Amino acid sequence: RGSLHHVSSREKAFAEAFRVLAPGGVLALTEPSDDFLPVRWARAVLYSISSKFDKHDRAFRAREVRSFFVQSGFEPVAFKRFGYLSYLICGFPDVLPIILWLPGKVALTRALISVDRVLSRVPGLRVASFHLMALARKPVNPRGRRQTG
């Protein structure tokens, strides 16, 4: 699970990542996705009833993450969605302990991950994920500055 959604100043977090990453380096994020309205509603309910979340916790839309990348000087590379049924049922047993009550936990988890792989390839369902993985690269010559060395 990601950590950006726990940070109160995302802009500062991206600026610091940009500062410390070597030119050509890649920033990889996995964060809760808020691109699909039913997932957004489910997450809002979960965040409001669980003591595991605080006021800074939130999910992101892919366009927000892309915007953070660009505004911070990164070049967006790839976005991939994951976490459909397996994430909902197995992904956070400390918050929603569904899997703890079900028999055959390991086999069920593996089966749900397989279903999720199929769902992630279906164009109309792809956006319905609970999570987003995003990759961005720090330019070799960031923001037009000449590299010395």
DSSP string of 119-141, one letter each residue: HTT-TTTGGG-SEEEEEEE--SS
Q: Within 13 Å, how many C-alpha atoms sit on residue 8's CB side?
A: 2
In this predicted structure, the answer to whether residue 78 has a pLDDT above a threshold of 60 is: yes
Which pLDDT tens digit goes with each residue over 30-74? 998 999 998 888 888 887 887 777 777 788 899 999 999 999 999
Say which amino acid occupies 109. T
In this predicted structure, the answer to whether residue 103 has a pLDDT above a threshold of 70 is: yes
Q: What angle do CA 78, 61, 97 make, to 5 degrees?
A: 100
User: What pLDDT does 143 receive?
Assistant: 56
**CA torsion, ordered 109, 42, 30, 123, to nearest 10 deg:** 80
| Percentage, residues of the chain above pLDDT 70 | 93
Do the beta carbons of residue 5 and residue 32 sit within 8 Å?
yes
Residue whose C-alpha is closest to residue 67's, from 139, 130, 134: 134
Mean pLDDT, rounded, of the chain: 85
Mean pLDDT of 8-16: 86
Token pair of 102, please? 């079900």
Q: What does pTM read for this prediction?
A: 0.79
| Percentage, residues of the chain above pLDDT 90 | 39
Higher pLDDT among residues 48 and 115, named by residue = 115
Mean pLDDT of 82-87: 86
Read off the pLDDT band of 147 (50, 70, 90): very low
